[in-house]
Structure 1
Amino acid sequence: MALTTAECVATVVDPKAHADPARLNAAYAWLRQNDPFARAQIDGFDPFHLVTRHADILEISRDNSLFPYGDFPSTLAPHQAVEAGRAAKAQGRPLLYTLVQMDEPDHMKYRALTQAWFMPQNLRKLEGRIRELARQVVARMEALGGECDFVNEVALHYPLHVIMEILGVPAEHEPRMLQLTQELFGATDPDLRRGGDESPEARQMAIQAVLADFFGYFNALTEDRRANPRDDVASVIANAEIDGERISAFDAVSYYVIIATAGHDTTSSSTAGAMWALAERPDQLAKVKADPSLIGGLVDESIRWTTPVRHFMRSAARDTEIAGRRVKAGEWFMLCYPSGNRDETVFEAPLEFRVDRSPNRHLAFGYGAHLCLGQHLAKMEMRILWEELLPRLKSVELAGEAQLSEANFVNGPKKLPIRYVFE
């Protein structure tokens, strides 16, 4: 059946389509081939372009001054929410102000506060503790007796515990952090969102309520770390200074929120995505088991394959040209990372999962100034888990229907029943 630009745009924006990879990938492929800078005009939204080719996503991402967030939010939002956000920002009362919402000069100033914590040379000192946690994961899988929901019983908890230890959140509060993260990123998913009403107005109110809960928790953490600093990231943030002045409690809490959510959710999704792929492809499991040097390739391929962050938005600061088309200052763009990660001009057989894919120039961590702060930690966690798990994992298969979340911003497996045999 022939597709049209309008049909493909509607698919990419539809949260439900992100739980249907075949439908979504068909839309992305058609856009890359026929309309790679498609203009979207959807009722209730400001017009925007879908950027679906790898090269164009790179071009926009590498020039943060020409393509900032500007007056638009960092993720796709209805016109009413865009206007409300602008008004709140003008009054100095935005809902949230994190690294992913910041343009320069704020972005680099705030990023520098914690960047050293997430660089490889600092993370090496955490490797022993992370390996200990990974071994606990393997022991838990063994205790589950050969069958489990890998998402909800395994994948969600391992990276959550790692990032909460780094941040300084007590282990007994991890379930609350997980619930709030799922409610925030899963606001369009019927199983994950807060409340049963799926209307845009109810969704926005639910997100505001989730953020209020985050702020209530992290305001108390800020006060504690200012009074009793420790060797954790929470203390770094709570006592940080920008241009000689301590950052506000609002900025501190915003910083905590991005670390406490993105710091584990995307890693758990990629880990579950890898297990799902291996369960369906015993040849790939056999290949990486036979050659453990391919574990790094497995990690990168699972990140490309899953691409948990589905998009970020950018706008044009001035008139320019992208993809051979003139754009005017103020135009809005959706960077479609799953499409870039399946671009046929960059990846051979992009719809195949290959643990030995090399090179693997995926865009799942973004690119340019906004390259994911936690990418090295995420890859280390996943590498260590597979180093501990693969020698024990003789076989794995699906034991029921696996499901992806219905979300067009942050997406990943929400259910993965598997049956496995340990060596």
Structure 2
Amino acid sequence: MTIPQEVADTIVDPKAYADGKIYESYAWLRANNPLGVAQPAGYDPFWVVTRHADILDISRQNDLFHSGDRATTITNKAADDHIRKQTGGSPHLVRSLVQMDAPDHAKYRALTQAWFMPRNIVGLDQRIRNIARASVERMAAKGSECDFVREVALHYPLHVVMEILGVPEEDEPRMLMLTQELFGATDPELGRAPGAAAVPGDIGSIQAVLADFYQYFAKISADRRANPRDDLATVIATSQVDGRLISEFEAMSYYVIVATAGHDTTSSTTAGAMRALCENPDQFAYVKEDLSRVPGFIDEAIRWTTPVKTFMRSATADAKVGGQAIAKGDWLMLCYASGNRDEAVFDEPNRFRADRKPNKQLAFGYGAHLCLGQHLAKMEMRILYEELLPRLKSVELAGEPKMSQALFVNGLKSLPIRFEFS
């Protein structure tokens, strides 16, 4: 039942998520110990859930497996103690949808859900297409080489979600920097702590980043209450639950989740899709030949990249998962990137295949916590590649891709490419 120490240590090592070693550990676990207990030094023991079926089973039982009772991202004991002292007992520095359970989760999700439903985002098609075309033109202006992450993948979804949220364009660089500092806190190039002083559990820099977010959005919130607009910031600033305005802390948490997850994961998948085209010329030819294949290509890029690697759950009662007894209070790590490479579900899981059908990828989660922005994310990526592929005659790597060192949300931070436009 206990996972070998070397594998357990890999699961909490940010470098393993950058160099791909995590996938070797996942493959070993699926084959040998698909639901075992990890006990890395300094951490409370936790179950590592690596099979697609078990992740689904837990995700559909939201009353039995809570998000909010313990930390929703893997946190060591020292950090957990520090956070609880700071918050008066809560394991969370923010209180967003991610940290909520019933009945609050459904109430707070309903506040913005309409904005992200397919029937509403279809009206954004032309606005998003214009942004996509501008991104393609910026890439074309670079000549024959660029860093696709820094020139296109970071800025395109950022601009889309900030326009919807209501953040002025001149503030987008600040939002990007803060997002990278938050999700890349353990990366030596992205984190705020100098020279990667931040390690899992060193949450001082994360608190500082959140404080900057809160300071920024407090002004936005005050403005929207005084001067409502047709944007998501106004919805959040003026939202009521159970007949009262949501608290300032809840509003700030809502802004942060939209302003970070709303673009960072889409950026990662957009870049991962381009890397797949560079590394698989046959897939580039296949998708370019018929643009109706772009949605399938995007689904495969989502599976392949899986930017949100893990989320934590805790058992509210004794339970069984995959035949294994789980005790009340146990902590479980849902390893989405492992589920998305599960040999029992995906034929040739380690191959990128734009024609994969069905594609039962889990990157957006499942059940009540299914990603609110999944339809918008897919739409953004589809539109960008619909605009880009007809112009792109050839593309290849022009250097070594670099991944971020992060346990929770990780993706490409650099993708040098060489290309030819028509």
- Alignment TM class, shorter chain as reference: over 0.9
Dislocated runs of 4+, deviation >6 Å: none
Aligned to 1:60: 58
Q: Distance in 2 between matches of 1:388 and 1:230?
A: 30
Distance in 2 (CA, whole Å) between partners of 1:151 and 1:91 is 39
Q: 1:291 to 1:25 in 2, by over 3 A?
A: same
**Is residue 403–residue 412 contact of structure 2 (8 Å, CA) maintained in 1?**
yes
Q: Which letter maps to 1:387?
A: E
- The aligned counterpart of 1:138 is 136
Q: Separation in 2 of the partners of 1:70 and 1:178? A: 27
Shift of 1:327: 1.2
Number of aligned residue pairs: 419
> Shift in Å at residue 81 of structure 1?
2.2
Superposition map of 1:6-21 within 5 A: 6-21=5-20
1:264-312 deviation line (CA, Å, top 9, x unaligned): 0000100000000101111100000112111001100001000000000
- Show the counterpart of 1:118: 116
AA in 1 matched with 2:269: S
> 2 CA distance for matches of 1:328 and 1:389?
51
- Partner amino acid for 2:79? A
Amino acid at match of 2:131: L
1:192 corresponding residue in structure 2 = 190
Equivalent residue number for residue 260 of structure 1 = 259
Instruction: Sort the Cα spacing of 1:247 and 1:70 in 2 relative to 1 into closer, same or farther, 3 A.
Output: closer
Equivalents in 1 of 2:91, 2:58: separation in Å?
29
> Structure 1 CA distance, aligned partners of 2:321 and 2:166?
43
Q: Map 1:239-278; keep pairs closer than 5 Å.
A: 239-278=238-277
How far apart are the structure 2 equivalents of 1:296 and 1:204? Answer: 38
Is the 2:80–2:91 Cα contact (8 Å) retained in structure 1? Answer: no
* Alpha-carbon distance between aligned partners in 1 of 2:403 and 2:198, rounded to the nearest angstrom: 21
CA–CA distance in structure 1, aligned partners of residues 300 and 268 of structure 2: 13
Please, which runs of 5 or more residues in structure 1 have no aligned partner?
Answer: none
| SS of aligned partner of 1:382 | helix
User: What is the match of residue 220 of structure 1?
Assistant: 219
Partner letter of residue 228 of structure 1?
A: N
Shift of 1:90: 4.5
2:383 maps to 1:370: no
Partner of 1:48: 46
Structure 2 CA distance for partners of 1:339 and 1:92, relative to 1, 3 Å: closer
Whether 2:95 is the aligned partner of 1:97: answer: yes
2:419 counterpart letter in structure 1 = Y
- Residue by residue over 1:58-87, the C-alpha shift from the partner in whole angstroms, topping out at 9 and shown as x without a partner, is 000011100002431110001122234344
Q: Does 374-383 or 246-255 show the bigger shift?
A: 246-255
8 Å CA contact 1:393, 1:420 repeated in 2? yes
Question: Shift in Å at residue 390 of structure 1?
Answer: 0.5
Cα shift at 1:344: 0.2
Check the 8 A contact 1:5/1:38 in 2, yes or no: no
Distance of 1:187 and 1:416 partners within structure 2: 20
1:13, distance to aligned residue in structure 2 (A): 1.7
Q: Distance in 2 between matches of 1:201 and 1:389?
A: 38
**Map 1:151-300 → 2, pairs under 5 A:** 151-196=149-194, 198-200=197-199, 203-300=202-299
> Using the alignment, how far apart are the partners of 2:142 and 2:324 within structure 1?
55
- Per-residue CA deviations over 1:365-414 (Å, capped at 9, x if unaligned) read 00000000000000000000011000111110000111110111000000
Residue aligned with 1:64, SS: coil
Task: Among all aligned residue pairs of Structure 1 and Structure 2, give the percentage whose two residues are the same amino acid.
Answer: 63
Alignment partner of 1:335: what SS? strand
> 1:307·1:338 contact (CA, 8 Å) conserved in 2?
yes
State the Cα RMSD in Å. Answer: 1.4
Q: Alignment partner of 2:320: what SS?
A: strand
Provide the TM-score with structure 2 as the length reference: 0.97
Work out the CA distance in 1 between the residues paired with 2:120 and 2:198: 44
CA contact (8 A) 2:300 2:356 kept: yes
Partner of 1:422: 421
Give, in angstroms, the shift of residue 201 of structure 1.
8.5
Contact kept in structure 1, 2:78 and 2:201, CA below 8 Å: no
After superposing the two structures, state which structure 1 stretch, 63-72 or 166-175, moved more.
63-72
Secondary structure at the counterpart of residue 203 of structure 1: coil
Quote how far apart the aligned CAs of 1:199 are. 4.8
What's 2:106 paired with?
A: 108
Aligned partner of 2:69 among 55, 68, 71: 71
Residues 71/83 of structure 1: CA separation in 2 closer, same or farther (3 Å cut): farther
Name the CA shift for 1:336/1:420 in 2 (closer, same or farther; >3 Å): same
Q: Which is further off, 40-49 or 409-418? A: 40-49
Inter-partner Cα distance in structure 1 for 2:158 and 2:170: 12
Matches within 5 A, 1:336-415: 336-415=335-414
Tell me the distance in 2 between the aligned counterparts of 1:70 and 1:25: 28
Conservation of the 8 A alpha-carbon contact between 1:5 and 1:31: no
Amino acid at match of 1:188: T
